């Protein structure tokens, strides 16, 4: 998600990132949603426990004087406004439970997403790059396979054949987000966007050479057309769009890549003569872009899906929950709108069809009678045309600003970490990110890691504050050649224990960031903000210059943009024999560099291996 910084929420809406995947397959014929009514409600944490945990989390960011000042402010909050706000939040939780909701979900959807005004790409959306998908096929064949694979997953979901997910193989996870993958769109509105979901859609939107096409992919009974027939229609669309690419094609897609209030204004202008066309995009199952660009590396492919180049924005619709992208030379992936669901949900679908694609098992059967495609003929007056050109320029600035670098560390992976380091791969990787940041900036910073809250009804995520006094002491020790290996290893174990303890609290619903968000949102407009939430250390501890998340898969890598202008977005996967990192920074910031961070990350991983005096490869 995304950081709103001074925009009211102080590192709330930008910070929620793809959730760490803690799923295990269930044997037998379990139904997708069979556990929903058994899930406990999302708890409201204890006020004093949250205040204590907050004070502990800020210690590595403060000197003694700063800490004592903030402690006094927090103690005043406990005695004065805190109990009043806590009582209101408990009452709110009780009321929302009557309506089959968690106390957080509407707060989170509106405050963290729909009210967020920055452009969606690189700020709110995430991306997935299909790094293991075949690239030696025709562009349209790859696109047809992706469409068929997604439709097969949709059918399984409708039949409740998608395996329910469990934490550590025993605790059911909330599956509600899966209902929102298809036919869902965010729509720009002034002030606060809206989220729309539709039933009965049978078409997708295909975007090629800046032109939009309606392609029906399900027959009247809801069955998918054959892959071969879909590929034929995609070939026709690509040919048609190429023949008309020399014309003055309006860059419609660019309106979804600019600041949200500007996007809302552009949509209002377009709706006057194009309401049905926009509605057709909104109701589509998903979008798929056939790009003429040819990325020359994995880094560039990821960067052009996460952000893009000067040609990208007109060939996207960033408001769709899934906008698949297939480049001319076979690289493929998706950009995902984030507000109603978290990236691992789409990741599960992606794993499903990529696994079948790798084995050439995507079912190609079905009717051959795909209806002819429909080309969207936009009605654009001269003033709107000028505004669209300006939107394209602004969109290009947004997309080009985000640098992306992959770090694939192959000297060891999750197997080695578990066998030799004897710790959780997630915790190990989190410490590698802490150390890389310290090597890069000679300092530590507040760090966000996405923790799961899906053990609870309609639960999504909460914040794991990775930076601790123990992790800070360890990074300082690692940079000091006078500290012995044994002492470094001792500090490392303490840092790992601190991380594991915080992660467990997050899973149990006993951490602070969503709790404090709720307390702030039940404050009445006429009441002053509690001093705790305007204290300098509050801002410092919620300014997550490191925004991180675990998205482990054998079939894709994933990522997102930074949460702060001077920060990094670090998404990672722990494969059995390698560690995969997607690292982003903004080119507009002179103090950060994804390339430099990547080099220091490799250095950190080398140094961490040396602590164990073992060969990296098993």
Q: Which CATH superfamily is domain 126-163+200-400 in?
A: Choline/Carnitine o-acyltransferase, domain 2 (3.30.559.70)
- Does position 352 have pLDDT exceeding 80, yes or no? yes
Pick from 262, 263, 266, 211: nearest CA to 238: 211
What is the percentage of the chain residues whose pLDDT exceeds 90? 91
187 to 115, 193, 279: CA distances (angstroms): 12, 6, 10
Question: Strand pairing partners for 450?
Answer: 463
- Does position 6 have pLDDT exceeding 80, yes or no? no
Would you state the pLDDT for residue 362? 57
- Beta strands at 332-336 and 126-129: parallel, antiparallel or unpaired: antiparallel
How does the average pLDDT of the chain come out, rounded?
A: 93
pLDDT confidence of 366, banded at 50, 70, 90? confident
- The enclosing H or E element of 585 equals strand 578-586
pLDDT confidence of 29, banded at 50, 70, 90? confident
pLDDT by residue (tens digit) across 438-491?
Answer: 999 999 999 999 999 999 999 999 999 999 999 999 999 999 999 999 999 999
Rounded Cα distance, 451 and 247, in Å: 49
- Does position 18 have pLDDT exceeding 70, yes or no? no
Would you state the pLDDT for residue 48? 98
Would you state the pLDDT for residue 26? 38
Would you state the pLDDT for residue 615? 54
- Does position 105 have pLDDT exceeding 60, yes or no? yes
Residue 72 neighbours by CB under 8 Å, 6+ apart: none
Rounded Cα distance, 318 and 338, in Å: 10
Give the residue numbers marked as catalytic. 338
Q: Where are the domain boundaries for CATH 3.30.559.70 in the chain? A: 126-163+200-400
pTM of the model: 0.94
pLDDT by residue (tens digit) across 443-455?
Answer: 999 999 999 999 9
Pick from 170, 152, 169, 177: nearest CA to 36: 177
- Does position 15 have pLDDT exceeding 70, yes or no? no
* Mean pLDDT value across residues 137-154: 96
Rounded Cα distance, 527 and 42, in Å: 27
Would you state the pLDDT for residue 356? 84
49 to 52, 147, 365, 366: CA distances (angstroms): 5, 48, 57, 57
- Does position 27 have pLDDT exceeding 80, yes or no? no
- Does position 503 have pLDDT exceeding 50, yes or no? yes
Rounded Cα distance, 89 and 432, in Å: 37
Exposed / middle / buried, residue 38 (Cβ in 10 Å: 0-12, 13-18, 19+)? exposed
CATH fold label, 36-115+403-610? Chloramphenicol Acetyltransferase (3.30.559)
Rounded Cα distance, 392 and 136, in Å: 32
pLDDT by residue (tens digit) across 263-288?
Answer: 999 999 999 999 999 999 999 999 99
Q: Where are the domain boundaries for CATH 3.30.559.10 in the chain? A: 36-115+403-610
């Amino acid at each position: 998600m995304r950081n709103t910084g001074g925009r009211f929420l102080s590192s709330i809406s930008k910070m929620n990132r793809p959730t760490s995947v803690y799923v295990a397959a269930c044997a037998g014929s379990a139904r997708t949603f069979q556990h929903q009514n058994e899930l406990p409600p999302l708890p409201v944490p204890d006020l004093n426990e949250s205040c204590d945990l907050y004070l502990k989390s800020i210690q590595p960011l403060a000197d003694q004087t700063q800490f004592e000042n903030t402690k006094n402010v927090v103690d005043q909050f406990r005695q004065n406004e805190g109990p009043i706000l806590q009582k209101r939040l408990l009452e709110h939780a009780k009321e929302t439970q009557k309506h089959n909701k968690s106390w957080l979900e509407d707060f989170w959807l509106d405050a963290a997403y729909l009210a967020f005004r920055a452009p969606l790409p690189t700020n709110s959306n995430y991306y997935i790059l299909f790094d293991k998908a075949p690239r030696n096929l025709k562009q349209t064949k790859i696109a047809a396979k992706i469409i068929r694979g997604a439709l097969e997953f949709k059918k399984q979901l409708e039949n409740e054949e998608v395996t329910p997910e469990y934490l550590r193989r025993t605790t059911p996870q909330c599956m509600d987000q899966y209902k929102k993958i298809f036919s869902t769109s965010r729509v720009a509105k002034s002030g606060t966007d809206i989220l729309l979901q539709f039933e009965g859609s049978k078409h997708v939107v295909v975007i090629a050479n800046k032109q939009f096409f309606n392609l029906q992919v399900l027959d009247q009974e809801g069955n998918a057309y054959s892959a071969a027939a879909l590929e034929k229609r995609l070939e026709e669309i690509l040919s048609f769009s190429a023949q008309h690419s020399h014309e003055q094609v309006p860059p419609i897609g660019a309106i979804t890549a600019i600041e949200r209030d500007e996007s809302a204004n552009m949509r209002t202008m377009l709706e006057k003569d194009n309401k049905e066309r926009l509605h057709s995009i909104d109701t589509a199952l998903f979008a798929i872009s056939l790009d003429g660009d040819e990325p020359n590396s994995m880094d560039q492919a990821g960067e052009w899906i996460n952000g893009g180049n000067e040609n990208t924005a007109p060939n996207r619709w960033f408001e769709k929950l899934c906008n698949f992208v297939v480049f001319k030379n076979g690289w493929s992936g998706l950009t995902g709108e984030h507000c109603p669901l978290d990236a691992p949900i789409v990741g599960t679908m992606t794993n499903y069809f990529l696994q079948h694609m790798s084995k050439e098992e995507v079912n190609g059967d079905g009717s051959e009678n795909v209806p002819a495609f429909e080309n969207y003929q936009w009605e654009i007056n001269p003033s709107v045309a000028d505004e669209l050109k300006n939107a394209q320029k602004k969109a290009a600035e947004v997309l080009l600003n985000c640098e992306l670098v992959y770090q694939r560390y192959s000297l060891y992976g999750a197997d080695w970490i578990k066998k030799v380091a004897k710790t959780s791969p997630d915790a190990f990787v989190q410490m590698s990110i802490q150390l890389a940041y310290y090597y890069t900036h000679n300092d530590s910073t507040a760090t966000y890691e996405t923790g799961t809250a899906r053990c609870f009804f309609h639960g999504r995520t909460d914040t794991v504050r990775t930076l601790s006094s123990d992790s800070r002491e360890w990074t300082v020790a690692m940079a000091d050649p006078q500290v012995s290996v044994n002492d470094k290893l001792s500090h490392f174990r303490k840092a790992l224990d601190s991380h594991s303890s915080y992660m467990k609290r997050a899973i149990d619903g006993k951490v602070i960031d969503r709790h404090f968000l709720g307390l702030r949102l039940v404050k009445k407009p006429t009441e002053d903000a509690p001093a705790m939430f305007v204290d300098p250390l509050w801002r410092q501890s919620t300014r997550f210059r490191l925004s991180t998340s675990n998205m482990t898969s054998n079939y894709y890598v994933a990522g997102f943009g930074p949460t702060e202008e001077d920060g990094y977005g670090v998404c990672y996967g722990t494969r059995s024999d390698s560690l995969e990192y997607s690292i982003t920074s903004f080119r507009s910031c002179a103090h950060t560099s994804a390339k430099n961070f990547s080099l220091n990350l490799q250095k950190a991983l080398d140094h961490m291996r040396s602590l164990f005096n073992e060969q990296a490869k098993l």
